[in-house]
Structure 1
């Protein structure tokens, strides 16, 4: 049958129509009925930076990390304003994309996007999630084209279905993190990488597709700095595999370096170092997984105190043991590594897998140095990008083995059963959770939706804290990213030391941007048991646990924040307690606020 006739095959049309129907239902359902707002600190941080870019303020941030502030102040050798503070922590491309969309919808105007009294989900959260989701959906299409070119439409279709039914992919899509933009750029990059491999194996010059792939890898590196490791893996492969050897690799390296130089020059001008505050992401890896603590203190501890090689080995073992969750929960994706032993007949298929392996291995080394965890929505997760292409190789390997079974050979109707089994097993996490999530979403639809509480409650910040703080006032908080995004106010990450607190407070006062209060939320007191909270928040443990103790002793309710000898001077300056969400989210203010919400 000809290709033209195949296009009008009723079975194909029904399957494709069903796929797109499910895609539309899942997309609309996740963005509206099931959507609960952003729930990632990095996503909120990048979103508020994007809003500042849309306002014409450049890469400014309202999230003040004490270490980043101290780094900038030391370089400038003078006091640095907390207002319009320049960010050197995040990669630029995702905020730029979100800034363009926010500008288009008027998201730079805070009044236009003020929450209604009955709204539980911040409207701009849905805008950010929509951008990420659209990147995910387009990446499914690009992956389908790539896998169709490598293998066939059947394996491409199953790969697309597995992506669509992966709960992990949807979680990252709705989080607002840059992973879905990265997935789109990576899918485009490896599509042209495969075109280059094809040209090379067939005797044609691979230069043009290889360079186009290099451009996409460069954009990928500008979306997340850790993606530079993936780009380095590609450069090594290109330098060895494409003729003339070295020329293609050097050309791609030059393409990568040019925009990187501009970013590094900007960072040097602000912070005095080419990597800015992003350098301290190393404390997530070889620094022992203590980036949060380090960022909250103006003085970092020794970077290699936890043992360089033991930390790298431990993280490499973590990546190996949890490879299935890292690859989107698609259990056939790790079979890619076994497929390396299979002698594929087409040279392009056989050679391309070594490119994927090299990029993945170099990326894994980068993650071992910079750190990755099994926590949901880890911002350093880059293994997810490899899931579609590895899934395709895993499916191809299974299909080869399945077709050789005597039972399948004698019963052609069984030739696609293995695809059905894989789809059902991989889709179970999403399918099992969908009814309960849909029930909650539909029940709360009339009441404005379901927030990601704990720890985030957008109405309390957008309709409460926003009114209590002026644009020239600052607050300390355990979730400064949420304050910056929802309340649109400058917030300093609460340091563990009262000395550091007092120094930042004095600095803000001298710059005419006084500190007006301290916000405590479940981001701190819900982060672990009492000993863990005390270890993390040190001098401010009593302040963090004050609401918990009050509830545990109610009635009458015992307050401990004003009885701690270590921070008595601080509590005297912020004696007024205003409840934003009961005693779970409390704002300690320097002045009395609404009488109904305030206790002294």
Structure 2
């Protein structure tokens, strides 16, 4: 018996050493992503949470600089209105903002973004990206625990490597998107549900798991409003897969219910509506349109939904998502194999229960994406496939291991027969990272002064507007979260209709503020065909959207008489071909010629009294 014990201990030590090496590799990749290849935030939702967190950290309260027309109309009706700091926010779920505000409170000296000093990447962007990376590493930890408890160490290692070497997930982690928070919470919920099912099998107490699931469900609702749907699906799964789950359900649902009731009361106090500025998130399900289009409407209402339009959009986007599903699942080979794993009859009750829970989450995500158009440009935050992809990888890898075990090899005890499926699953999934990371590192080292998420965002260029604008001046923008985050001033979203422009300007004037102009980025021109500009989200603003690009062809698109901001300040341009001019892809239109102020001088350190009348610099 002694030799077997020594052998078992040796295998355990080898497994632990290998696992430690894998985690060191992931930590190294995290540092590379945030220090060498990082180009700034890409998620507008992430920028929105970040600018609100900066306001909270300053002590300004829950006041947002990213002003949505519908939200502005709501607070004006309630008598609070707009100030130089912004408006009270009810649109964003609080959890990402609270987490970021806690970190920002100790980093106030870095709030000012001064691109003229050569800093192409905002320091606070790296802080936000660092939080996303910690959430991603926590997701890997939880998912590895799920695979290890349900299956075995080898499959768990394959799952860990396949996910951890997927470039798509690293890109999501540093984008600033709140989806990385939601992905971590879904993974933690899966880990707790796994423990609950196993404890039920062993007839042990499950109350700790139940309390944990209740807190996680509340966190999901506090992260994204779509997280409420996933939390409800998780509760339905509990009724389906957990013996006597109905008795446990109240403890899981209670924390989320308390939060939603409290938030609805707060929203009603601020806006007069229980849903507050988050109302468009619910209205989007009935309109078959973009949530942003509803938020950009000045009137607090919704046109009568067309059933034909809803069905047509549902069918179209429901089909489109499955044509692109491999990429939206992080390009991990094992993820789409989840659908084949549904055909296998797993024997262990806990495995069957988790498979059913994952199936319910997948169905919910498919319905959300089909209803909201989560795969089209401009609505990436509705794309929740990445949130459930780690769970799908667990069962897809298990199915791949089963298939591999059915293959006949000349030497059944060979290393390839035992570990081959791991190399296949990991190798294919890691190809984008292996081929792209060296070039990304090289670009990060050679072009550090010119890094940007371009198109559509160029942080250092829009940050330079502070050398042009004066105090108490605000702007309108087609990407208000981007403008507010990098200029640290109020940015109002360009409304859907031109008739909404005058009342918004009156609100700005009543607040003793001045509208400086309009920032136009490639966001408003992000269409499949040029003609779509006249029928899309910015159909009433073609003179603003197309004027910059048409300059390349020596064509001047006259602005409408009611638009006073005719003087362009170019921020980013690109050539359209040999012999052609420069197309202005990011422009700030203002009402007059403005002088660019020189960079503010660096503050010298104050002398420190060293005693006996002697000072040290």
The reply on whether 1:198 has 2:191 as its aligned counterpart is: no
Q: Distance in 2 between matches of 1:7 and 1:149?
A: 21
1:250 counterpart residue number: 250
Report which of the two has the higher share of helix.
1
Listed one character per residue, the Cα deviations across residues 475-518 of structure 1 (whole Å, up to 9, x for unaligned) are 11122111100000111112243322122112211221121222
Which of 65, 70, 83 is residue 68 of structure 2 equivalent to? 65
2:593 counterpart residue number: 592
The reply on whether 1:497 has 2:500 as its aligned counterpart is: no
Q: Distance in 2 between matches of 1:30 and 1:303?
A: 46
Q: Distance in 2 between matches of 1:138 and 1:372?
A: 25
Q: Distance in 2 between matches of 1:496 and 1:398?
A: 49
Judging changes above 3 Å, is the alpha-carbon distance between structure 1 residues 366 and 515 closer, same or farther for their aligned structure 2 residues? Answer: same
The reply on whether 1:476 has 2:476 as its aligned counterpart is: yes
Q: Distance in 2 between matches of 1:391 and 1:543?
A: 45
Which of 27, 33, 57 is residue 30 of structure 2 equivalent to? 27
Q: Distance in 1 between matches of 2:345 and 2:526?
A: 52
TM-score by length of 1: 0.89
Alignment of 1:315-464 (within 5 A): 315-373=317-375, 375=377, 378-407=380-409, 410-413=412-415, 414-445=417-448, 448-462=449-463, 464=464
Listed one character per residue, the Cα deviations across residues 104-136 of structure 1 (whole Å, up to 9, x for unaligned) are 2226x634x544521211111111101101111
Alignment of 1:46-125 (within 5 A): 46-74=49-77, 76=78, 79-81=81-83, 83-106=85-108, 110-111=111-112, 114-125=114-125
Asked if structure 1 preserves the Cα contact closer than 8 Å seen for 2:362 and 2:388, the reply is yes
1:520 counterpart residue number: 520
The Cα of 1:103 is off from its aligned counterpart by 1.1
- Structure 2 residues without counterparts, runs of 5 or longer: 574-583, 599-617
SS in 1 for 2:333: coil
2:225 counterpart residue number: 225
The Cα of 1:54 is off from its aligned counterpart by 1.1
Which of 534, 551, 561 is residue 568 of structure 1 equivalent to? 561
Asked if structure 2 preserves the Cα contact closer than 8 Å seen for 1:190 and 1:213, the reply is no
Q: Distance in 2 between matches of 1:122 and 1:533?
A: 32
2:572 counterpart residue number: 581
Asked if structure 2 preserves the Cα contact closer than 8 Å seen for 1:285 and 1:372, the reply is no
SS in 2 for 1:406: coil
Q: Which range is displaced more, 351-360 or 368-377?
A: 368-377
Judging changes above 3 Å, is the alpha-carbon distance between structure 1 residues 302 and 7 closer, same or farther for their aligned structure 2 residues? Answer: farther
Q: Which range is displaced more, 296-305 or 411-420?
A: 296-305
Listed one character per residue, the Cα deviations across residues 267-308 of structure 1 (whole Å, up to 9, x for unaligned) are 122222222222313565542333333322313552522533
- The alignment's C-alpha RMSD in Å is 2.7
Q: Distance in 2 between matches of 1:183 and 1:347?
A: 25
Asked if structure 1 preserves the Cα contact closer than 8 Å seen for 2:75 and 2:87, the reply is no
Judging changes above 3 Å, is the alpha-carbon distance between structure 1 residues 479 and 68 closer, same or farther for their aligned structure 2 residues? Answer: same
Judging changes above 3 Å, is the alpha-carbon distance between structure 1 residues 44 and 492 closer, same or farther for their aligned structure 2 residues? Answer: same
Asked if structure 2 preserves the Cα contact closer than 8 Å seen for 1:182 and 1:223, the reply is yes
Asked if structure 1 preserves the Cα contact closer than 8 Å seen for 2:91 and 2:278, the reply is yes
The Cα of 1:409 is off from its aligned counterpart by 6.6
1:294 counterpart residue number: 294
1:15 counterpart residue number: 18
1:187 counterpart residue number: 187
Q: Which range is displaced more, 328-337 or 43-52?
A: 328-337
Q: Which range is displaced more, 584-593 or 524-533?
A: 524-533
Asked if structure 2 preserves the Cα contact closer than 8 Å seen for 1:478 and 1:523, the reply is yes
Q: Distance in 1 between matches of 2:597 and 2:211?
A: 64
Asked if structure 1 preserves the Cα contact closer than 8 Å seen for 2:199 and 2:206, the reply is yes
Q: Distance in 2 between matches of 1:270 and 1:350?
A: 46
Asked if structure 1 preserves the Cα contact closer than 8 Å seen for 2:283 and 2:302, the reply is no
2:274 counterpart residue number: 274
Judging changes above 3 Å, is the alpha-carbon distance between structure 1 residues 270 and 17 closer, same or farther for their aligned structure 2 residues? Answer: same
Judging changes above 3 Å, is the alpha-carbon distance between structure 1 residues 193 and 467 closer, same or farther for their aligned structure 2 residues? Answer: same
SS in 1 for 2:443: helix
SS in 1 for 2:161: helix
The Cα of 1:53 is off from its aligned counterpart by 1.4
Listed one character per residue, the Cα deviations across residues 412-445 of structure 1 (whole Å, up to 9, x for unaligned) are 3322112101111111122222233223222213
Q: Distance in 2 between matches of 1:315 and 1:277?
A: 26
Asked if structure 1 preserves the Cα contact closer than 8 Å seen for 2:121 and 2:459, the reply is yes
Listed one character per residue, the Cα deviations across residues 293-342 of structure 1 (whole Å, up to 9, x for unaligned) are 33223135525225334433444444444433332222312322332332
Listed one character per residue, the Cα deviations across residues 503-535 of structure 1 (whole Å, up to 9, x for unaligned) are 211221122112122222222345554322233
- Structure 1 residues without counterparts, runs of 5 or longer: none
Asked if structure 1 preserves the Cα contact closer than 8 Å seen for 2:217 and 2:253, the reply is no
SS in 1 for 2:439: helix
Judging changes above 3 Å, is the alpha-carbon distance between structure 1 residues 526 and 318 closer, same or farther for their aligned structure 2 residues? Answer: closer
Judging changes above 3 Å, is the alpha-carbon distance between structure 1 residues 539 and 370 closer, same or farther for their aligned structure 2 residues? Answer: closer
Judging changes above 3 Å, is the alpha-carbon distance between structure 1 residues 481 and 359 closer, same or farther for their aligned structure 2 residues? Answer: same
Q: Distance in 1 between matches of 2:63 and 2:410?
A: 61
SS in 1 for 2:517: strand
SS in 1 for 2:287: coil
Q: Distance in 2 between matches of 1:90 and 1:4?
A: 55
Q: Distance in 2 between matches of 1:546 and 1:374?
A: 25
Q: Distance in 2 between matches of 1:67 and 1:424?
A: 48
Q: Which range is displaced more, 431-440 or 480-489?
A: 431-440
Q: Distance in 2 between matches of 1:193 and 1:10?
A: 29
SS in 1 for 2:263: helix
Q: Distance in 1 between matches of 2:97 and 2:263?
A: 14
Figure out how many residues of one structure are paired with residues of the other and give that number.
581
SS in 2 for 1:229: helix
